[in-house]
C-alpha cells in the first residue's frame, strides 16, 4: 500500500495481559491514496520497535507499507479512538512481517501530496464557527464537526 500520512497518534503503552509486569507499545496513523479512500494503520510491539517506527515518518510523508495484516474493523470500538474511515478494514503492522518505507520529497508523486489538503469528512457535514455562534443554544450537547482555519498563533 502506498499513501500519504494524513494523521498520526503518539506512542502509548499498556500493561501486557499475557506477560504480567511488562508493557506493550502502540501507535497509529492514517494513510490516504485517493480523494475517496483512506485507512487507519495500527502497530503494536516492543518499545524500541514502536518508537523507532513512529520517529521514521511524520504527517505529510509518503509511505509504502509492505505485508500488513488486513483486518475487519470493529466500527463502534475503533472509531472512538481513530478517525472514521470509509473502509471497513484496518491495517495492522507486525514487527516480524511488516515494513514501512518512507519516500523522499523528490520521489513523491505530487498527486499524493495534494491529498493532504482534502477534508476527510463530507463537505455537507460541517458547521462554520459563525453557525455555532448564531445557533449555539440549539446545538447544545451535540457533537459537531467544525471546519475552521487558524488565523494566528501567539503566546
* pLDDT tens digits, one per residue of 108-144: 667 777 787 777 777 777 888 888 888 878 888 877 7
Q: What is the pLDDT of residue 103?
A: 81
Number of structural domains in the chain: 1
Q: What angle do CA 61, 66, 69 make, to 5 degrees?
A: 110
Residue 120: inside a domain, yes or no?
no
44-102 pLDDT per residue, tens: 999 999 999 999 999 989 999 999 999 998 866 666 667 778 888 999 998 899 999 98
Residue 137: inside a domain, yes or no?
no
Residue 89: inside a domain, yes or no?
yes
CB count within 10 Å of CB 84 equals 12
pTM over 0.85: no
Residue 122: inside a domain, yes or no?
no
Q: What is the pLDDT of residue 112?
A: 78
Residue 143: inside a domain, yes or no?
no
Residue 80: inside a domain, yes or no?
yes
Q: Residue 12: beta bridge partners?
A: 26
- State how far the Cα of 93 lies from the Cα of 63, in Å rounded to an integer: 13
Q: What is the pLDDT of residue 104?
A: 65
Q: What is the CATH number of the domain that holds 84?
A: 2.40.50.140
**What residues make up the domain containing 27?**
2-115
Mean pLDDT on 31-45: 91
In three state form, how does the secondary structure of 46-60 look? CHHHHHHHHHCCCCC
Nine-digit cell at 146? 467544525
Residue 33: inside a domain, yes or no?
yes
Residue 109 DSSP one-character state: -
* Owner of C-alpha cell 510523508: 61
Amino acid at each position: 500500500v502506498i499513501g500519504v500520512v494524513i494523521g498520526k497518534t503518539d506512542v502509548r503503552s499498556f500493561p501486557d495481559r499475557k506477560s504480567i509486569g511488562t508493557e506493550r507499545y502502540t501507535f497509529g496513523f492514517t494513510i490516504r491514496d485517493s480523494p475517496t479512500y483512506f485507512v487507519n494503520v495500527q502497530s503494536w510491539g516492543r518499545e524500541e520497535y514502536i518508537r523507532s517506527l513512529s520517529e521514521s515518518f511524520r504527517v505529510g510523508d509518503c509511505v509504502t507499507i509492505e505485508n500488513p495484516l488486513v483486518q475487519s474493523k470493529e466500527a463502534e470500538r475503533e472509531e472512538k479512538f481513530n478517525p472514521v474511515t470509509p473502509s471497513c478494514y484496518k491495517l495492522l503492522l507486525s514487527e516480524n512481517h511488516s515494513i514501512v518505507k518512507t519516500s523522499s520529497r523528490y520521489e513523491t508523486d505530487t498527486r499524493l501530496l495534494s491529498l493532504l489538503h482534502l477534508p476527510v469528512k463530507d463537505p455537507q457535514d460541517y458547521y462554520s464557527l459563525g453557525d455555532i455562534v448564531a445557533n449555539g443554544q440549539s446545538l447544545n450537547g451535540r457533537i459537531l464537526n467544525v471546519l475552521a482555519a487558524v488565523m494566528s498563533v501567539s503566546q
